[in-house]
A and B are shown apart, each in its own frame.
Chain A
Amino acid sequence: MANEKELALLKEFAPQIEHTNLIQAVWMFFLAAVVGLGFYALYVQIAEGHEVTGMRDNVVWGIYIVNFIFFMGVSYAGALISGTLHLFRAEWRKPINRIAEYITIIALLIGPCYILLCIGRLDRLQYLVLYGRIQSPITWDVIAISTDLFGCFIFLYLAVLRDIAAIRDFQAIRIPKWKRKLYTWLALGYTGTTEQRERLHRATDVMAAMVIAIAVIVYSVLAWIFSVTLQPGWHSTIFGPYFVIAAVFSGCGVMIVVMWLFRKLYHLEKYITRKHFVNVGVLMLILAALFGYFTFSDYLTKWYGSERNDELLISLLFDEYYWLFILSNYVGVLLPMVVVGIKRLRTINNITISAVIVVLALWVNRYLIVVPTLESPYLPIQDSRPEWLFYSSTWVEWALTAAGIAFFALAFTIASKFIPIINVSEMADSSTLEDEEILT
């Protein structure tokens, strides 16, 4: 049964689940409209073919793949952050852990959709399973992503089980009958007996460790799709760890942005405090340093090696993509260091602004990994049209990108209407003075 602390917290969060106010309704309508625009773009792409995108024979991957890498990275970051904080029993994690768990699942649902948008012959998708070669990194990725998705769902379910049971037991909440039945069914009869608590605890610990391992492996596999090829700029032994670091870095940025948004939307100032922003910000600072180190190391060795195609690629990055390169690898790295590193600048808004720029920089970083390399291949296609040699994204691709971001926010909002965005049960377990103050 739900304890008094849980019920007190649930009373506070019940309006989130019971009602949708005008601002929330407008927000959700806006997001749904952007998703709708994405569906229209998808219709155009299916009706007219991939010609409506900027992808051509030479540059066969565009911003769909960039979005895929980006969302998968955000997902793995969520898993790594929530899993690590859970295992280290960090008390301060409790109000923000649910956000990390939601980020994991929602981003993981969106990411692979971009692969489907990129595939020209979707009618042959089943061949991946029917005729997939286990030696192919693409097959590794399919296995890894499905394994990760399954594991993350189990982890999220374990993490929300106590809250579901608490809502089921909270009689004062005004929700439809079907919703109450759903809570009862999902709660699995959990009442918080000693045996149940121990079992849940053990399973959550195991899954927390698993999602960390899986996140590292899966994102490394994604990096290997690039690095096992001999393309200039991709064939690098450090691509696996580089991708993992970049993923957690971008995930920290997304987490801070989501924390800021929900703090404002649900007035969670009491729970998500400056301390949380600073703590995740410090994590972001460390990752910025690591990311900068990996980036520098990768480009330095390529530049010093003076291999012809690497030189071409680097000259392209410092010429055609100069500003994007500066944003991605200088601004994105140095800004969080300055903002979080200098105590006076360490405010919630400053950290959030730097997180927005980090997210943008990391998206651009993935763009610079994918597109310029394909624009400077070892063997250019013979007799290709000059306008096909370089990539230029179209409105269809941007509309579907916007739809992905909007769906991310929409799914987050809908999920928060089902289970509180703050982990009520874990907060009720807190015995620290600060948490006691919150409860009173």
Chain B
Amino acid sequence: MKKFLFANLLWLISTLLLISPSLSAQEETEAEEVEPVDTYISFIATYTSNDTVVLTANLYIRNGRVRVDLENAPISFTVSEGTEQIEAGETFTDSTGIAQVMIATSSLLRNEEGMVTYMADFAGTDKYLSTSEMFVSKPAKLEVSFYEEDSVKYIRVKGYQFTSNGEAEPISDETILMFVPSLFRPMPIGDVWLEEDGSGSMEFPMTLIGDSLGDITVIARIDEHDSFGYVKGESNCEWAVPKHLLSQDKPTRELWTPVAPLWMMITLLILLAGVWGHYVYAVVELVKIKRSAKKENIQEKDWSNYS
């Protein structure tokens, strides 16, 4: 038994002695050679209803399965039609790793099919490798308007696409997704089918809640389209239900509502009236003391004159 234990102990010590130099050598190698990390960009171009295109690049690295956004990194954007290339701007990523620039669609370079090639480029640093991403799409535009027919309210959407020489043509046979802004992400309210003439409509949902005046923004969107990529159009109307922050059936602290805290006002007024009433009483007593003193002086004077 003793022999067995001794043999095991000897084996353990020798193993440790053999492993430890190799471990420390590995650590030294790691400390000396720190390789730059791979970086990634997710990049899209979104056409808006005010004739601009918003280029959005999200720079990040991968730490195992976790995606880590890179902050304060310079991203340069370019636009090309295949051969010729122009600078669209350079900006730094924010705390969420996003860099954005907005350019006018009139300044875009288009190829023969009207397609535009956008590039987002990160030049890299000592710690992070360079990366770039391309996005190709055809300029398009969505217009949102409102109309009323037979007392029914409608949302109208018109879609245009632009040819290589910048001429507008209707977008037909496409489904447009409709949203209204919400707290975290846009809330879908339906979709609109674009006819041959590039227009379509849907009934305005009368249950939508707007701001205190009933104003609301309606958004029309094309997402991940093979030709247009991302297109967004928006417009405001006053047809939503006005939002009241106060629920009328609950007691509130505001004095201008039908459920104002009258109990508080009444209590306060009774207290104040009671206290100030007593003050007035005390002051009146002081005034009477002064008056009685005057009367006394007059009587004394009269008596002295008489005597």
Contacts and interface: CB of A to CB of B under 8 A. Distances in A.
Is B one of A's binding partners? yes
Interface of A: 133-135, 140, 143, 147, 150-151, 154, 157-158, 161, 188-191, 193, 195-196, 199-200, 202-203, 206-207, 209-210, 213-214, 217
Interface of B: 253-255, 261, 264-265, 268, 271-272, 275-276, 278-279, 281-283, 285-286, 288-290, 292-294, 296-297
Contact of A154 (B282, B293, B296): B282
Contact of B282 (A134, A158, A189, A191): A158
A207 B290 CA distance: 18
6 contacts: A133-B255, A189-B292, A193-B292, A210-B275, A210-B282, A214-B275
B254 A135 contact: yes
Nearest to A203: B285
Contact of B272 (A147, A154, A193, A207): A147
Nearest to A158: B282
Contact of A207 (B282, B288, B297): B282
Given A188-B290, A193-B292, 17 more contacts: A133-B255, A150-B279, A154-B282, A157-B286, A189-B290, A189-B292, A189-B293, A189-B294, A190-B289, A199-B285, A200-B289, A203-B282, A206-B281, A207-B278, A210-B282, A214-B275, A217-B271
Of the listed residues B254, B279, B282, B283, the one surrounded by the most CB atoms of chain A closer than 10 A to its CB is: B282
Contacts of B264: 135
Contacts of A151: 275, 279
Contacts of B283: 154
B255 A135 contact: yes
B272 A206 contact: no
Contacts of B253: 135
A135 B264 CA distance: 8
A344 B290 CA distance: 52
Nearest to A154: B282
Nearest to A202: B285
A239 B292 CA distance: 47
A140 B269 CA distance: 12
Contacts of B297: 189
A193 B296 contact: yes
A158 B278 CA distance: 14
Contacts of B279: 150-151, 154, 207, 210
A199 B286 CA distance: 8
A199 B275 contact: no
A272 to B, nearest CB: 29
A199 B281 contact: no
Given A147-B272, A191-B293, A217-B271, A158 B286 contact: yes
Contacts of B293: 188-191, 196
Nearest to A201: B285
Contacts of A213: 275
A219 to B, nearest CB: 14
A378 to B, nearest CB: 20
B276 A147 contact: yes
B63 to A, nearest CB: 23
Given A143-B272, A189-B294, A134 B255 contact: yes
A143 B253 CA distance: 18
A193 B268 CA distance: 39
B278 A206 contact: yes
B290 A147 contact: no
Nearest to B281: A206
A143 B255 CA distance: 18
A193 B265 CA distance: 43
Contacts of A206: 278, 281-282
B255 A203 contact: no
Q: Which 4 A-B pairs have the closest CB atoms?
A: A189-B293, A203-B285, A188-B290, A203-B282
Contacts of A214: 275
Contacts of A140: 268
A147 B275 contact: yes
Contacts of B296: 189, 191, 193
Contacts of B275: 147, 151, 210, 213-214
A68 B264 CA distance: 26
Given A134-B268, A206-B278, A196 B289 contact: yes
Contacts of A134: 255, 265, 268
Contacts of A190: 289, 293
Of the listed residues B255, B289, B294, the one surrounded by the most CB atoms of chain A closer than 10 A to its CB is: B289
A150 B272 CA distance: 13
Of the listed residues A133, A143, A196, the one surrounded by the most CB atoms of chain B closer than 10 A to its CB is: A196
A351 to B, nearest CB: 35
B193 to A, nearest CB: 45
